[in-house]
A = this chain, B = another copy of it.
Amino acid sequence: MTLKTTMNKYRLFAPGPTPVSEETSLAMAGPIIHHRTEPFEKIVAEVREGLKWLFQTKNEVLILASSGTGAMEGAVVNTLSKGDKVIVVDGGKFGERWWKICKAYGVEADVIQVTWGQAVDVKEIKSRLDKGGYKAVFVQASESSTGTYHPIREIASLVKAKDDCLCVVDAISALGAVNLPMDAWGIDILITGSQKALGLPPGLAMVGLSDKAWKAAENSTLPKFYFDFKRELKNVQQNTTAFTPAISLIIGLAQVLREFKKEGLENLFARHARLAEATRQGMLALGLQLYSSSPVNSLTAVKTPEGIDAQKVFKILQTKYNMTIAGGQDAAKGKIFRLAHLGYYDDLDVVTVVAAVEWALAELGHKFTMGAGVGAAMKTLREL
């Protein structure tokens, strides 16, 4: 059951950080150039165009030196004022983060508690919006803790009809993996991070704002300084940032965006759909169930059968096969494990992760035909 080898490569299949390509690592290992120079400004100009393309927006996308949470906080403090009422969709650890940020700043969150693993019922949002008085709806495109996609298109469409209400989407683990056309769907704030689909090290957050969001920013009175979006907008329009940017990561971002452009948006989303579907079929073929009833293409959350501790699957992969996946959090701890298909990750990576999960399950006494999961994944990859 143990690998009969002393060579054991590290494989990172967690929903962030994700694997970085050698080409990107090399680009980032080049000499650090100063950010107030023409060569770096050219890189920012290229990245600006690339991000508008990836976010599918005509507006600027801001680049922040922070993790994604910093951009989430920025979305709150730049568009709202103390006492404002908002709707928060909480279907997992990251939905929870929205109302915690709101609470820290005195914004009143009306929280829609969604059963973990389920998508929010848009009717719940609609009935609240119809009552009126809400300044924003906060939601995840991909709730990483449960592997769930919330119906962003439908939510954005409902919010679009309301004046003075913003649709704010945390797409940290979704953007680049899932189609989220910001302008076409009417998303007002769209957020992502470097360490997910983009396949970069963590340390960069990116955020796009609609005209409606920029208008709200005019009236917002919450305090802000480091995450002051209006100051960042003025700077990015001059191909720079307000404060010292994470230079090496932005150089890596330029490289990744070049690769994404070669691939094309449609292929990008199709690739993630195909990797996700193969992973799901592999897991189902082992007699396991998906945790989410609305599985997102960024990652697959898998329930272990009664009597098998999902944390043990996680631990065996980590210690024996040098592979990092993710376990479950809070109430889902011990019940699920999560496999990401993000970053520098291809078809044969699906095969390796399904194989390692099979070995771990066999060790834990689960009954199945060895290779059944891998076979199902391979079949899907060949057909899709």
Contacts and interface: CB of A to CB of B under 8 A. Distances in A.
Interface residues of A, number: 53
A204 B10 CA distance: 25
> How would you classify the secondary structure of chain A's contact residues: helix, strand, loop or mixed?
loop
Nearest to A34: B324
A54 B249 CA distance: 26
B202 A65 contact: yes
Interface stretch (A112-120, A130-138, A218-226): A218-226
A16 B222 CA distance: 31
Given A66-B65, A243-B67, A244-B193, A225 B101 contact: yes
A28 to B, nearest CB: 7
A383 B29 CA distance: 36
A185 to B, nearest CB: 27
A375 interface: no
Integer count of this chain's copies in the complex: 2
A147 interface: no
A331 interface: no
Given A66-B66, A224-B104, A246 B202 contact: yes
B16 A33 contact: no
A20 interface: yes
B17 A105 contact: no
Given A225-B105, A244-B68, A34 B14 contact: yes
A128 interface: no
Given A17-B32, A67-B65, A203 B248 contact: yes
A19 B31 contact: yes
B104 A246 contact: no
Interface in A10-26: 10, 12, 14, 16-20, 25-26
Nearest to A241: B67
A337 to B, nearest CB: 13
Contacts of A324: 33-34, 37
A109 to B, nearest CB: 13
A102 to B, nearest CB: 9
Interface string A64-86: 01111110010000000000000
A227 interface: yes
A31 B25 CA distance: 8
Interface of A: 10, 12, 14, 16-20, 25-26, 28-35, 37, 65-70, 73, 100-101, 104-106, 193, 195, 201-204, 222-228, 243-249, 318, 324
Give me the 5 closest cross-chain CB pairs, A-B, nearest first: A203-B246, A201-B248, A29-B29, A34-B324, A104-B225
